[in-house]
Structure 1
Amino acid sequence: MLTVALVDRVGSGLWASVSVLYFTYVSGLSLGEVGTLVAAAGAVGIAGAPLGGRLADRFPLTPVLIAVQLLRAVASLALLTTDRYVFLLAFCAVGSLGDRAANVLTKLYATRAAGPDRVRYQAIHRTVANAGWALGGLAAAAALAVGDAAAYQWLLAGDSLSFVGSALLTLRCGEPSSRTRTVITAKDPRPATRPTSPWRDRTYLAYVATDTVLFLDDAVFKVGLPLWIVHVSTVPQGLVPLLLVLNNVLVVALQVPLARFGATTAAARALLIPLSVAFALGGTAMTASATGGTRAAPLLLTAAAVLFTLAEMLHATISWELSVALAPDAAQGAYLGVHGLAQAAQRSLGPLAVTTVIAAGPLGWLTFGGGIAVTCIFQHRLVRDRLTKGPLSVPSITVSEH
């Protein structure tokens, strides 16, 4: 599955870095049309997380993941067939739906296959994924040196082929054991007790809401740092790609070593305290950079990038473990699907939140870091009783994998 992740992310790196340019220069869309296209597709994609989780609870996981990968391949390839806005919107929406579903399904596969080693597996998976993104981005940069429409089209075709390759590699992966799917057997024709629904689990829904806030580190690197440097700071704009590279390098180098500090559920919860400190200090460094001058400002922005990257890595470890530990075994797919809404919602709300922070000026970043730090502390208290008592009690269910 790690090879699947690498192939998948290389293709995503090819497309993510040039998608806006493709719609502008090849499809001929206006700025407003591109913005609406991306926002609408992202909104539709939010539904992919719970849908993928539900499917994984009802059907074997591996075939579902293969089907989703092929759906993504078809959606990407279909973009090459038209320049009509309504069709581009439809194809992007389907692709976004598949992307979010694939993320949840991949996480669920790792949860079932890795068992108690799931935190370390997630760290390795995330490292491989970041390396794939970097390789795809470098290949895209090289291809764009050509500068014609054919280059964009080949990159999109490469993205589509990566999903086909991921599907073929998934065929070689065994079906992980699961206590989630239920069947009615001839010996016992009575319907099995329905698993607990995450939509009626107030503690888990509150946890997902707080995790949505903690995922805002993603918006910092995609929107916050670039806009802050370009529009507010006196630092040269060339620092932007360097900080993004620094983020990627740190994740690849440190995600696995840091994962050992969250190897158990109790340890993962305890990491919420240093996570709150990292967010608070990151916001403070961003605020200080506004008055740091031409010499101090680059150092302060670099420090902020390091601190937010540390927050990103700590949160990845925490979120992976707690989202699973808080879910009952008999409804893991449904629960992880609902948790997938946190990251999906952040992708829509994060850019708006960060631009609002920038508009508020230097003190906006202080409020941003402090607000997320408080959310960390709240989540630390929120999950305490649940983890002490264990996940929701669910009646035992006989499961057949045949």
Structure 2
Amino acid sequence: MRITRGTRTKGTGTTPTTRTGRPRVPGGPDGRRMLLVALVDRTGSGLWASVSVLYFTYVSGLSLAQVGTLAALAGAVGIAGAPLGGRLADRFPLTRVLIALQLLRAVASLGLLTTDDYGLLLVFSALGGLGDRAASILTKLYATRVSGPDRVRYQALNRTAANAGWALGGLAAAGALAVGTTAAYRWLLLGDALSFVAVALLTLRCGQPPSPSRTVTATGTPAPTARPATPWRDRTYLAYVATETVLFLDDAVFKVGLPLCIAHSSDVPHGLAPLLMVLNNVMVVALQVPLARFGATTAAARTLLLPLSVAYALGGTALALSTAGGTRTAVALLTGAAVAFTLAEMLHATVSWELSVALAPGTAQGTYLGVHGLAQAAQRTIGPLTVTAALATGPAGWAVFGGGIALTCVIQHRTVRGRLSRPPLSVPPVTVSEH
């Protein structure tokens, strides 16, 4: 008899509610704790992300080239964090791996406080990047396992909590920047490090979710398992990940594209850039959970790829048209582009959460999600180059940019059709709690 460690989750096809009629958080107490983890984690990240360049410049005394190299190395090492974290989660208890990664992030942040030596700063930044990407993938994997058939709704709640955390951290960082002292910068970095310690302690209280890849017999001894599937030989999944890299380009639009459009326009006030970021955060917090219900099943998530393509095309068109006309027209079109790309961001998040899991075999979820994480990591490298090329090309560049992503949505819609139309090869094993 095969028994998987964890708790059994049974879907009912409807959203469960409490006795008061309020929607219940999928995953029970552990699900609620992980939402708190997301809030605390991203609050700490919000403290640091907005001031890291200033810290390295004014406190550590690094040159522009050194700061750029530091960020590039952290991003490059972070690419390896996604598949590494996923593979570890398929071989070891997920919560223990998550705790270890959060403590690694804490050590890396504290290390930055202890030195201004460039070599050591490179090492600590690389460790932080590795831990950040791996922890991000494993948090998603935990949500997948603990929430069962309600994983899309749970991920929407998780993303809402994370965006609220980013906003809180960003506001606190803005207050510290008003002070502008070296001590203020150091306190922000210390707050980031302490947030990782806090989330490690919160994760320690979470139960181990069910894992099809880690089984034990009724006597408690490890059960023999077949060799797990590998995503590196799965052409359909690799093709899906390749299209995901393109669909994640909305991130580069907000971080690089819109700010550069505003900076290079003589008609648009520079203060519009942070306002569009605020608009993005507010929309995600307000609409991510309601929109998630449109992708609650695998078939519905795949269908969302078609309206998603329209949102990307509209966003690219608005950016292309924003270069013509006066101040009011440019502001209106840039705001419209921000709304369109935020809508695309939320729809893609819903689609991506469901399809990345549905296309992965249960016995290798961690490994597959780790490879899926490469798409977002790779986008961080090619995204800035793509949007700057579109900006340099002019209106036609933005039209091709939006149209290209829209076409990729259609390609992904066809790519996954064959895999999702097949019946499941096996029934997941019955699970019991290890508490």
Aligned to 2:151: 118
Q: Deviations over 1:175-208 (max 9, x none)?
A: 1111112569999999521111011100000000
2: CA distance between counterparts of 1:141 and 1:16?
11
1: CA distance between counterparts of 2:433 and 2:363?
14
2: CA distance between counterparts of 1:247 and 1:186?
52
2: CA distance between counterparts of 1:3 and 1:186?
35
Which structure: greater helix fraction? 1
Could you tell me whether the CA contact under 8 Å between 1:54 and 1:334 is conserved in 2? yes
Q: Deviations over 1:115-156 (max 9, x none)?
A: 000000000100000000000000000011111111111000
2: CA distance between counterparts of 1:233 and 1:183?
66
- Within a 5 Å distance, the mapping from 1:221-260 to structure 2 comes to 221-232=254-265, 234-260=267-293
2: CA distance between counterparts of 1:162 and 1:63?
17
- Within a 5 Å distance, the mapping from 1:3-402 to structure 2 comes to 3-182=36-215, 191-232=224-265, 234-390=267-423, 393=425
Could you tell me whether the CA contact under 8 Å between 2:248 and 2:379 is conserved in 1? yes
2: CA distance between counterparts of 1:186 and 1:394?
24
1: CA distance between counterparts of 2:162 and 2:74?
23
Q: Deviations over 1:70-103 (max 9, x none)?
A: 0000000000111111110110000000000001
Q: Deviations over 1:244-267 (max 9, x none)?
A: 100000000000000010000000
Query: Is 76-85 or 231-240 further displaced after alignment?
Result: 231-240
Unaligned runs of 5+ in 2: 1-33
1: CA distance between counterparts of 2:113 and 2:105?
14
Q: CA RMSD in A?
A: 1.9
In structure 2, relative to structure 1, the CA distance for the partners of 1:106 and 1:76 (3 Å cut) is: same
Write the letter of the residue equivalent to 1:13.
G
TM-score, with structure 2 as normaliser: 0.89
CA displacement at 1:401 relative to structure 2: 8.2
In structure 2, relative to structure 1, the CA distance for the partners of 1:26 and 1:186 (3 Å cut) is: same
Q: Percent identity?
A: 75
Runs of 4+ in 1 over 2 A off after TM superposition: 182-192, 393-402
Could you tell me whether the CA contact under 8 Å between 1:183 and 1:192 is conserved in 2? no
In structure 2, relative to structure 1, the CA distance for the partners of 1:295 and 1:84 (3 Å cut) is: same
In structure 2, relative to structure 1, the CA distance for the partners of 1:189 and 1:344 (3 Å cut) is: closer
SS of residue matched to 1:389: coil
Could you tell me whether the CA contact under 8 Å between 2:212 and 2:428 is conserved in 1? no
TM-score, with structure 1 as normaliser: 0.96
Matched residues, number: 401
Write the letter of the residue equivalent to 1:277.
V
CA displacement at 1:354 relative to structure 2: 1.0
SS of residue matched to 1:46: helix
1: CA distance between counterparts of 2:54 and 2:311?
34
